[in-house]
A and B are shown apart, each in its own frame.
Chain A
Amino acid sequence: MDTVDKIGYEAVIGLEVHAQLQTQSKMFCGCGIVFGAAPNSLTCPVCLGHPGALPVLNRRAVEYAVKMILAVGGEVRKHSIFARKNYFYPDLPKGYQISQYDSPIGLGGSIQIELPEYSRDIELIGIHLEEDAGKSIHPEGGEGETKIDLNRCGVPLLEIVTRPDIRSPQEAHRFLSKLKLIMQYLKICSGDMEKGALRCDANISLRRRGEKSFGTRTELKNLNSFRAVERALAYEIKRHAAILDAGGKVIQETLLWNDDDQKSEAMRGKEESEDYRYFPEPDLIPIKLEQSWIDEIKSDQPELPDARRERLAKEYDITSYDAGVLTGSNELADYFEAVAAQVEDTKRVANWLMVDVLREIHERKLEVGEFFITPNMLAELLCSLESDIISGKMAKEIFREMAASGKSAGAIIEEQDLRQISDSTKLTAVIEEIITQEAIQVQKYREGKRQLFDFFVGQVMKATSGKANPEMVNKLLKEKLDG
């Protein structure tokens, strides 16, 4: 974005996102949806496009669409229709895709994105339902037979299209992350781009800063990760800028992003000006939604990322940034709240989660939900810390031990007799003995060699096998040495 700024261009980016809905069965038939199943094992006459077979709409897919539209504040249209999008391709068995066209289920809405310096709303044009196509598996090197897997054919998709509101590759990345997060909160899409559960096409054009009209845009396909989206857009911005600077014209075309070579390539063939000949799907009746049903869905909506972040910050007195990290997944936020409910110092809980818990989870390549140190186990540890049974240093060690052995904090403390000594009479006795033994050092200290203080702390710790309450040691030592 910086380079663009310097030369006075502004990027105008729009995204078209396809999200696979996590329904049990496909959009128009009873076939199951399992990623990685044997090719063509999840098919039937309907999704294979056999003569005479007819689609029947999956109600759950509509419900998920409504959830999403409500989540982004869009308009849920009570009457919408399906349309046939006609094109020939081997992985499209019927020769048309059942989609929505001029009467989609959702209109408008917006998604707020947060960047380090600012946050802003990205407006959506709309959200519609459609069925996924199958997969063509082309031979390596282009020679030989293309194989078709129709397991994916008929999986429900949400198409989410933004206005050309996005101004930088970073914003595009943030938008996708936020979109994914919202869908994960709603439990309607895994958001896994690598598995194709979330797919994104982007269109981009440049214009002189301050200009109102749009430049010529190019469309980017084959963006298979959030980073690929960001890199491809950055590449296109540079490419457009170079063309415009040289007084040239950008050609309107569809480009494939090659993430290995880090460049965009012109798509071969006719894809461009294809006429899809949309018309209303006569095999399906219009989707008619009752307000009461929409209300029901609305009342069942989970708390969404923005709301939860705000609430966590306020309720647990943590920074908005920390709350943002903790609401990075619904499970992590659940984990946090479960621990924070049992521990006094919620800021400490937040720190422990963001540092220790996330580190262990990442190192072990786990999902939050799979982490074997449960919120209750962590709460026990932090409560022990809070009630001075153990020191902060010991807590960290015990946590590592818990992660290694799966044992509870209590068990580790008991087994290894790690209970911290916070009894001031006991500690005073130890300290007095050390002062007697180390008379020379005490003398030096009192003459001004203050750095010897740590030496005395170390002696106390040594004498107590490290179990002395560090804060009390500090306090009592000061009293005895300085007093």
Chain B
Amino acid sequence: MMIKDYRELTAAEIVRRIRAGQLKAVDLAETALQLADSEGRRLNAVITLCHQKAISQAEQIDQKVASGNELPLLAGVPVIVKDNIVYSGYPTTCGSRILENYISPYDATCIKKLEEAGAVIIAKANMDEFAMGSSNENSAFGPVKNPVRDDLVPGGSSGGSAAVVAAGIVPIAYGSDTGGSVRQPAALCGVVGLKPTYGAVSRYGLIAFASSTDQIGPLARNVADCALAYEAIAGFDPNDSTSAEFDHPPYSKSIEKLSTKKPRIGIPLEYVSEGIDDEVRTMIDKTIEKVDAAGYEIEKISLPHTEYAVSAYYMIANAEASANLARYDGVRYGRSAGREQGLDTMYSETRSEGFGTEVKRRIMLGTFALSAGYYENYYRKAQKVRELIKIDFDKAFDSVDLILAPTSPTAAFGVGEKSGDPLQMYLSDILTVPANLAGIPAMSIPCDRTADGRPIGLQIMAPAFGEKKLLTVAGQIEQMIGYNYA
């Protein structure tokens, strides 16, 4: 049975109604599956529908409700996950031809946690191939349309995840953020997106792009749902050596209580300087005025090494990617070509056919950065810059609690507008990569629209493991802004 007001329902409301017996998880699942199949396909935001498992997950929730069992955090909430999170039983393509028919033999920790939390996994979302891109135009399965307007990109690389949330197909989706891949599409599609602290969410089962900055993060239509979605997947995982053991409070509950003490907010000069679209700057300034007017202490700060962040990021991320993507060699799984012509032919044909242009470009760049004679000048130097960027943030957080900035230098741009110019595309990440390099949590919330109606995202950054404060203040600012999602 289709649920009429489904697209307006928040995750929190769904859980409430499931608990109250007013909604059936199976009906929700069927509604979401149908929407994913129609609107999701129209936007090209989904790659695979997970029909069978979704229905069985939903049935389990309905049985729990019927037997009066305690219900988990996301009981019955339809979610969509980016197609770089492995989910056994369905293809995990990573947006690439090389994994077109690849079915993982295991589930990502994130998937296990979602199942434990009672979420119903509806589909796998489209994405830039191997999460490399800022417009979702690099998917082997075609570009994703921005639900705001068909001729706009949704951002990337989690473009599919942002689009399905913005289009109301699911209240919560999961993406991954290596250099801004959750926050930037969230900003461009007008939804909330969180990149957690590095180590807060297990990377086990997230197909690696750049291991030292990859993090799975949620996207939702409001901060409260985002907190709920984050709470479900966060926490230490013994299968991921880089995952952290940390205090893991119930974010969804704690953000309901407004803290009495007003936080000190830092505005980094470097994030509102040249290169930022005038309209974006104006809207961010207006938001800051509102925050100021609400009595928050606003302080101008400096993050002096910001200008080197994009270069350092692309050096490190591509170096790691060049190694991470070496396993796609046609030997054990995924696409394999030229086997009969011998080993070298198999390698080159498999990888030539399987990888798209941007992926090849980054493998080449990363390989170069690690090569003998270049390592010191490129990879090593980039690591030094990374340290300096971390120090910038450490110093800033000595005097402020949170940092506010735009998420993206521009609002959503047109399909094909930047795809011919990789460097221009890389600069879309200028405001998001520093948080990845520093490992700190950052989120994007919609703050306004341009004159022609394109959403603008406000980025909020916090010290490592400061998600509770981050989500709480984001919720407060969300109320001040009063953004209209419709």
Interface centre among A48, A54, A285 (most CB of B within 10 A): A54
User: Would you call A95 and B332 a contact (CB within 8 A)?
Assistant: no
Q: Is A279 an interface residue (CB 8 A)?
A: yes
By a CB distance below 8 angstroms, the chain A residues around B347 are 88
Quick one: which of A52-93 are within 8 Å of B by CB? Answer: 52-57, 84, 86, 88, 90, 93
Q: Mark B438-455, 1 if CB is under 8 A from A, else 0.
A: 000000000000000000
By a CB distance below 8 angstroms, the chain B residues around A48 are 332
Q: Mark B202-240, 1 if CB is under 8 A from A, else 0.
A: 011111101110000000000000000000000000111
- Known contacts A86-B370, A90-B343, A93-B331: does B240 contact A54 (CB below 8 Å)? yes
By a CB distance below 8 angstroms, the chain A residues around B319 are 279
Chain B nearest Cβ from A61, distance in angstroms: 14
- Known contacts A45-B105, A45-B106, A90-B343: does B208 contact A52 (CB below 8 Å)? yes
User: Would you call A285 and B241 a contact (CB within 8 A)?
Assistant: yes
Q: How many residues of A contact B (CB 8 A)?
A: 28
Q: Is A370 an interface residue (CB 8 A)?
A: no
User: Would you call B86 and A277 a contact (CB within 8 A)?
Assistant: no
User: Would you call B239 and A54 a contact (CB within 8 A)?
Assistant: yes
- Known contacts A54-B203, A54-B204, A88-B347: does B375 contact A94 (CB below 8 Å)? no
By a CB distance below 8 angstroms, the chain A residues around B261 are none
User: Would you call B326 and A95 a contact (CB within 8 A)?
Assistant: yes
Q: Mark A35-52, 1 if CB is under 8 A from B, else 0.
A: 000000000010011111
Report the bound CA distance from A50 to B94 in whole Å. 13
Q: Is B246 an interface residue (CB 8 A)?
A: no
Q: Is B352 an interface residue (CB 8 A)?
A: no
Quick one: which of A338-374 are within 8 Å of B by CB? Answer: none
User: Would you call B327 and A52 a contact (CB within 8 A)?
Assistant: no
Report the bound CA distance from A45 to B212 in whole Å. 20
Interface centre among A45, A96, A283 (most CB of B within 10 A): A283
Q: Is A282 an interface residue (CB 8 A)?
A: yes
By a CB distance below 8 angstroms, the chain B residues around A285 are 241-242
Q: Which chain A residue has the least Cβ–Cβ distance from B333?
A: A50
Out of A45, A96, A284, which one reaches B241, CB within 8 Å? A284
By a CB distance below 8 angstroms, the chain B residues around A4 are none
Report the bound CA distance from A281 to B42 in whole Å. 41
By a CB distance below 8 angstroms, the chain A residues around B238 are 56
- Known contacts A51-B92, A282-B320: does B326 contact A277 (CB below 8 Å)? no
By a CB distance below 8 angstroms, the chain A residues around B371 are 275, 277
By a CB distance below 8 angstroms, the chain A residues around B210 are 282
User: Would you call B241 and A86 a contact (CB within 8 A)?
Assistant: no
Q: Which chain B residue has the least Cβ–Cβ distance from A148?
A: B331
Out of A52, A55, A84, A95, which one reaches B86, CB within 8 Å? A52
Report the bound CA distance from A396 to B146 in whole Å. 94
Q: Which chain A residue has the least Cβ–Cβ distance from B319?
A: A279
By a CB distance below 8 angstroms, the chain A residues around B331 are 90, 93, 148
User: Would you call B104 and A51 a contact (CB within 8 A)?
Assistant: yes
Out of B85, B105, B326, which one reaches A94, CB within 8 Å? B326
By a CB distance below 8 angstroms, the chain B residues around A52 are 84-86, 92, 104, 108, 203-208
User: Would you call A56 and B241 a contact (CB within 8 A)?
Assistant: yes
Q: Is B141 an interface residue (CB 8 A)?
A: no
Report the bound CA distance from A56 to B242 in whole Å. 9
By a CB distance below 8 angstroms, the chain A residues around B208 are 51-52, 283
Report the bound CA distance from A53 to B106 in whole Å. 9
Quick one: which of B438-479 are within 8 Å of A by CB? Answer: none
By a CB distance below 8 angstroms, the chain B residues around A84 are 323
Q: Is B174 an interface residue (CB 8 A)?
A: no
Q: Is B99 an interface residue (CB 8 A)?
A: yes
- Known contacts A52-B86, A90-B329, A94-B327: does B204 contact A282 (CB below 8 Å)? no
User: Would you call B329 and A54 a contact (CB within 8 A)?
Assistant: no
By a CB distance below 8 angstroms, the chain A residues around B393 are none
Q: Is B296 an interface residue (CB 8 A)?
A: no
Out of A55, A93, A279, which one reaches B323, CB within 8 Å? A279
User: Would you call B326 and A86 a contact (CB within 8 A)?
Assistant: yes
Report the bound CA distance from A88 to B343 in whole Å. 10
* A-B contacts at CB below 8 angstroms, number: 101
Report the bound CA distance from A118 to B332 in whole Å. 53
Q: Mark B294-333, 1 if CB is under 8 A from A, else 0.
A: 0000000000000000000000000110110111010111
- Known contacts A279-B319, A279-B370, A283-B211: does B242 contact A53 (CB below 8 Å)? no
Q: Which chain A residue has the least Cβ–Cβ distance from B238?
A: A56
User: Would you call A96 and B240 a contact (CB within 8 A)?
Assistant: no
User: Would you call B370 and A283 a contact (CB within 8 A)?
Assistant: no
Out of B104, B206, B239, B327, which one reaches A95, CB within 8 Å? B327
Quick one: which of A268-318 are within 8 Å of B by CB? Answer: 275, 277-279, 282-285
Q: Is B413 an interface residue (CB 8 A)?
A: no
User: Would you call A96 and B323 a contact (CB within 8 A)?
Assistant: yes
Chain B nearest Cβ from A294, distance in angstroms: 21
By a CB distance below 8 angstroms, the chain B residues around A45 are 104-106
- Known contacts A86-B326, A96-B323: does B370 contact A49 (CB below 8 Å)? no
Q: Which chain B residue has the least Cβ–Cβ distance from A277?
A: B370
- Known contacts A88-B326, A93-B331, A95-B329: does B104 contact A282 (CB below 8 Å)? no
Report the bound CA distance from A55 to B372 in whole Å. 26
By a CB distance below 8 angstroms, the chain A residues around B108 are 52
User: Would you call A51 and B332 a contact (CB within 8 A)?
Assistant: no
Out of A53, A93, A275, which one reaches B204, CB within 8 Å? A53
Report the bound CA distance from A101 to B371 in whole Å. 15
Report the bound CA distance from A94 to B332 in whole Å. 10
Out of A56, A279, A282, which one reaches B375, CB within 8 Å? A279
By a CB distance below 8 angstroms, the chain A residues around B205 are 52-53
User: Would you call B326 and A96 a contact (CB within 8 A)?
Assistant: yes
Q: Which chain B residue has the least Cβ–Cβ distance from A91?
A: B331
Report the bound CA distance from A57 to B204 in whole Å. 14
By a CB distance below 8 angstroms, the chain A residues around B239 are 54, 56
Report the bound CA distance from A86 to B432 in whole Å. 29
- Known contacts A50-B105, A51-B99, A52-B206: does B320 contact A88 (CB below 8 Å)? no
Q: Is B367 an interface residue (CB 8 A)?
A: yes
Quick one: which of B81-100 are within 8 Å of A by CB? Answer: 84-86, 92, 94, 99
Report the bound CA distance from A52 to B106 in whole Å. 10
Chain A nearest Cβ from B315, distance in angstroms: 11
By a CB distance below 8 angstroms, the chain A residues around B85 are 52
- Known contacts A86-B370, A93-B331: does B102 contact A51 (CB below 8 Å)? yes
Q: Which chain A residue has the least Cβ–Cβ distance from B379?
A: A279
User: Would you call B241 and A275 a contact (CB within 8 A)?
Assistant: no
By a CB distance below 8 angstroms, the chain B residues around A96 are 323, 326
Interface centre among A53, A57, A275, A284 (most CB of B within 10 A): A53
User: Would you call B329 and A282 a contact (CB within 8 A)?
Assistant: no
Quick one: which of A81-127 are within 8 Å of B by CB? Answer: 84, 86, 88, 90, 93-96
- Known contacts A48-B332, A148-B331, A277-B371: does B204 contact A55 (CB below 8 Å)? no
Report the bound CA distance from A107 to B207 in whole Å. 35
By a CB distance below 8 angstroms, the chain B residues around A278 are 370
Report the bound CA distance from A284 to B94 in whole Å. 23
Interface centre among A49, A52, A56, A57 (most CB of B within 10 A): A52
Chain A nearest Cβ from B98, distance in angstroms: 10
Chain A nearest Cβ from B90, distance in angstroms: 14
By a CB distance below 8 angstroms, the chain B residues around A95 are 323, 325-327, 329
Q: Which chain B residue has the least Cβ–Cβ distance from A48?
A: B332
Report the bound CA distance from A141 to B379 in whole Å. 44
By a CB distance below 8 angstroms, the chain B residues around A90 are 329, 331, 343
Chain B nearest Cβ from A68, distance in angstroms: 23
Known contacts A84-B323, A282-B211; 6 further A-B pairs (Cβ under 8 A)? A50-B333, A51-B94, A53-B106, A88-B326, A88-B347, A90-B343
A residues neighboring B (CB under 8 Å): 45, 48-57, 84, 86, 88, 90, 93-96, 148, 275, 277-279, 282-285
Q: Which 8 A-B residue pairs are closest in the complex by CB-CB distance?
A: A95-B326, A277-B370, A282-B211, A282-B212, A52-B205, A51-B207, A49-B327, A52-B86
User: Could you write out 10 A-B pairs with CB less than 8 Å apart?
Assistant: A49-B327, A50-B104, A50-B105, A51-B86, A51-B104, A54-B242, A56-B241, A95-B323, A279-B320, A283-B242
